[in-house]
Amino acid sequence: MSTKAKQAAKARQEQQSRQFRQGDAPYPEAPPAEQVVVRLRPHARVLFWPTLLLFAVCGATGYFFTNLPEPWQNTLLIWVAVVAVIVGCLLPLGFWLTHRYTITTRRIIFRRGFFVRTRQELVHSRGYDVSVRQNWLQSLWRSGTVRIDTGLEHPLLMKDVPNPELVQQVLHELMHSSRTVVTGAQRQQSSMSPDTAPWSPR
């Protein structure tokens, strides 16, 4: 190799070394952006009895109102109907709406609570065991409870969600993909470390 070629190669190595120290060296590719895979709630059949109660209260109120002998009895009927609708219909609906599970490409998010809200997260790269539990009623409605064991004392539960077998399959695939991405990023980062980079100063 000629002297000019050696000097040019040395200059390139020195420039690359300065770029690496200054943070201009190429870094491993950023992981893909997080995307929502699915949002879940408990099966809507839990609203069957509240809906039936709503129709019954409305029908009974419409039938007996103005037919009672005393005015105060009509007023009491209205108050009883309002309380029954709030306690038996609106509260169950509110609890159902605030009980949510969100599965993204990176994690699982558990949200629940009406008066006191709770949020828990579990990243797929951590690793976990997924199992499905169904009783005869859940099997009839194609729902079930997805149990996620993380090695902690209490497992995380996705209670009475639709299509639990499909949820289990999706979680397995996301966990495998997340671990593959993390392992590849770690290997690429270790190969770019100053100790192994070809342009690192000796």
Instruction: Report yes or no on 18 lying in a domain.
Output: no
Structure tokens at 56: 């019954």
User: Per the confidence metrics, is the pTM higher than 0.85?
Assistant: no
Render 38-86 in DSSP notation, one character per residue: EEE-S-GGGGHHHHHHHHHHHHHHHHHTTTSSSHHHHHHHHHHHHHHHI
Give the count of beta carbons closer than 10 Å to the beta carbon of residue 116. Answer: 6
Asked whether residue 4 carries a pLDDT value surpassing 60, the answer given is: no
Q: Check pLDDT > 70 for residue 134.
A: yes
Is 25 contained in some domain? no
Q: Are 80 and 56 in contact (CB under 8 A)?
A: no
Per-residue confidence (pLDDT) for residue 95, from 0 to 100: 92
Question: Is residue 62 included in any domain, yes or no?
Answer: yes
Question: In the predicted model, is pLDDT for residue 9 greater than 60?
Answer: no
Within-domain flag for 144: yes
* Number of folded domains that form the chain: 1
Q: Tokens representing 117?
A: 């809200």
- Asked if 56 and 50 count as a contact pair (C-beta separation under 8 A), the reply is no
Domain coverage including residue 122: 36-191
pLDDT of 87 reads 95
Per-residue model confidence (pLDDT) at position 200 = 47
**What percent of the chain is modeled with pLDDT above 90?**
55
CATH of the domain at 97: 2.30.29
Q: Flag whether 14 is in a domain.
A: no
Is residue 21 one of the residues assigned to a domain? Answer: no
**Span 84-107, pLDDT tens digits:** 999 999 999 999 999 999 999 999
Which tens digit of pLDDT belongs to each residue from 168-202? 999 999 998 887 765 655 555 565 555 544 444 44
Phi, psi of 106 (to 5 degrees): -115, -25
Residue 102 falls within a domain, yes or no?
A: yes
Residue pLDDT, tens place only, 22-61: 454 445 556 678 899 999 999 999 999 999 999 999 999 9
Instruction: List all residues 6 or more positions away from 127 whose beta carbon is below 8 Å from its beta carbon.
Output: 175, 179
Does any domain span residue 9? no
